[in-house]
């Protein structure tokens, strides 16, 4: 029994010990390259999860008062932090197995395929709309559904984050800031994505690159793309997306002007 307990404690130490390494935290917080990676993680989290944030907010509308809605989101965000911590710990351990890397890269590639073939189905919307056979009080039913949605879509973002950086502290900081930003500025990001529709396909192109990066890191290939380089790629992708948007907007304006002059 003692051996089993010691083995379990050792395993938990392997999973979550890096989160409590003060030297690792100090290095991450004081390194510019690490903050570039964190920025990349936050950006991808926001772009890919903003629709889920809207679903979460809509789910709270079934509660009768604003106080209960805010309270449910408060519980929800702390639950999201706890589950993100647990999933990152497990993911940091599992991502060391090449089989997981292959499965993860194929899954991310499948998400990209779904987006560009317009066959995706919002699993979170299904969860949000499933209200049959409620046995709990309304408030706790909403909180549990918020937590369930958080778990579902955190798998996508954690997998993508670990493919960019294997440092659990970087992934944790990026995830925590991303969750807070997503909940706080979901409406702003939605407006921005409506004004610059090229942002969403750009995010999925990045996910495709992340899938390739993860697959290339398996031992049989062993090509490791530095996380800092990927951060630069993310910045470059944003700049290119904005340039494409401006050029398309100018082209549409010129077409509209030429049609008006013909009339």
- Predicted local confidence at residue 152, as pLDDT: 67
Give residue 123's pLDDT band: very low, low, confident or very high (50, 70, 90). very low
Give residue 41's pLDDT band: very low, low, confident or very high (50, 70, 90). confident
Lowest mean pLDDT, pick from 55-69, 87-101, 225-239:
55-69
Average pLDDT over residues 235-246: 88
Residues 239, 242: Cα–Cα separation, whole Å:
5
Share of the chain above pLDDT 70, in %: 80
Give residue 127's pLDDT band: very low, low, confident or very high (50, 70, 90). very low
Q: Judge whether residue 60 has pLDDT over 80.
A: no
For residues 155 and 35, which has the higher predicted lDDT (pLDDT)?
35
Q: Contact, 39 vs 31, CB < 8 A? A: no
DSSP letters, the chain, are -HHHHHHHHHHHHHHHGGGG-HHHHHHHHT-HHHHHHHHHHHHHHHHHHHHHHHHHHHHGGGSSSHHHHHHHHHHHHHHHHHHHHHHHHHHHHHTTSHHHHHHHHHHHHHHHHHHHTT----HHHHHHH--TT--S-HHHHHHHHHHHHHHHHHHHHHHHHHHH---HHHHHHHHHHHHHHHHHSHHHHHHHHHH-TTHHHHHHHHHHHHHHHHHHTSTTT-----HHHHHHHHHHHHHHHHHHHHHHHHHHHHHHHHHHHH-
Q: Judge whether residue 161 has pLDDT over 80.
A: yes
Q: So where are the chain's domains? A: 2-262
Q: Is the whole model's pTM more than 0.75, yes or no?
A: no
Q: Judge whether residue 253 has pLDDT over 70.
A: yes
Q: Judge whether residue 122 has pLDDT over 70.
A: no
Q: Contact, 152 vs 55, CB < 8 A? A: no
């Amino acid at each position: 029994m003692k051996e089993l307990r010691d083995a379990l404690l050792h395993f938990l130490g392997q999973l979550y010990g890096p989160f409590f390494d003060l030297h690792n935290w100090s290095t991450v917080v004081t390194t510019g390259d690490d903050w570039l990676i964190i920025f990349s993680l936050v950006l991808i989290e926001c772009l890919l999860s903003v629709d889920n944030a809207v679903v979460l907010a809509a789910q709270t509308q079934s509660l009768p008062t604003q106080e209960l809605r805010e309270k449910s989101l408060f519980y929800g965000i702390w639950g999201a932090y706890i589950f993100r911590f647990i999933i990152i710990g497990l993911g940091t351990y599992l991502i060391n197995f090449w089989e997981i890397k292959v499965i993860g890269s194929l899954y991310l590639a499948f998400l990209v395929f779904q987006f560009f073939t317009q066959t995706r189905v919002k699993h979170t919307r299904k969860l949000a709309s499933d209200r049959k056979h409620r046995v709990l009080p309304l408030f706790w039913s909403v909180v549990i559904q918020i937590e369930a949605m958080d778990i579902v879509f955190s798998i996508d973002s954690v997998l993508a984050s670990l493919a960019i950086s294997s440092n659990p502290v970087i992934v944790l900081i990026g995830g925590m800031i991303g969750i807070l930003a997503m909940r706080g500025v979901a409406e702003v990001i939605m407006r921005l994505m409506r004004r610059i529709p090229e942002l969403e396909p750009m995010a999925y192109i990045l996910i495709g690159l992340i899938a390739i990066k993860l697959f290339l890191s398996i031992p049989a290939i062993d090509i490791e793309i530095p996380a800092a380089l990927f951060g630069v790629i993310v910045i470059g992708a944003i700049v290119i997306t904005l340039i494409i948007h401006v050029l398309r907007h100018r082209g549409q304006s010129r077409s509209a002007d030429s049609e008006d002059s013909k009339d």
